[in-house]
Amino acid sequence: MKPAFARQVLGAVAFVLIAAGVRAELPTITLTIGRHKLTAEVAATDAHRAQGLMHRRMLPESRGMLFVFPEATVHSMWMMNTYIPLSVAFLDASGMIINIADMEPHTRNIHSAARPAKYALETNQGWFRTRGIKPGAKVEGIERAPPAR
């Protein structure tokens, strides 16, 4: 193997390992909405919230990511560098769903909370709809999420 090619391969391997390490360090919690359970990775730091589900090629069924924000305000999400079609539910501080939006991969379309939100919960697109989960539903278990840092 030529040295330049070997460096490229090692660089790519290092990038994959670093990216996997970022994901591995995220805590997970089980959330319940009605009779439906969801395992969510928790993005509670600026870096983890900025990374979100970017660059992932798939998200297992009944998995998602809970974004914990430092304060309740009108937060927004977009899908730059995200390969998976997602739905996002914005939640108030008590865990009640404010609104839900479907988001398309690789777009810069802004999807915002309809009013101040403390959390955002991303899942595979249609996860909420296929389970009949609508605004006003309560997400149980968010109190176990680490605080925003």
* 90-120 pLDDT per residue, tens: 999 999 999 999 999 999 999 999 999 999 9
What is the model's pTM? 0.84
Instruction: Return the pLDDT at 134.
Output: 98
What is the number of domains present in the chain? Answer: 1
Instruction: Return the pLDDT at 132.
Output: 98
Residue 50 lies in a domain: yes
CATH code for the domain of 84: 2.60.120.1140
- pLDDT digits 0-9 by tens, 66-76: 999 999 999 99
Task: Provide the domain limits for residue 126.
Answer: 27-144
Chain centroid offset of residue 19 CA: 15
3-state secondary structure of 66: strand
- Kindly report the average pLDDT of the chain as a whole number: 89
Specify whether the CB–CB gap between 56 and 79 falls below 8 A.
no
Structure tokens at 22: 């970022």
Those residues with Cβ within 8 angstroms of residue 42's Cβ, 6 or more apart along the chain or in another chain: 26, 27, 28, 29, 48, 65, 66, 68, 145, 146
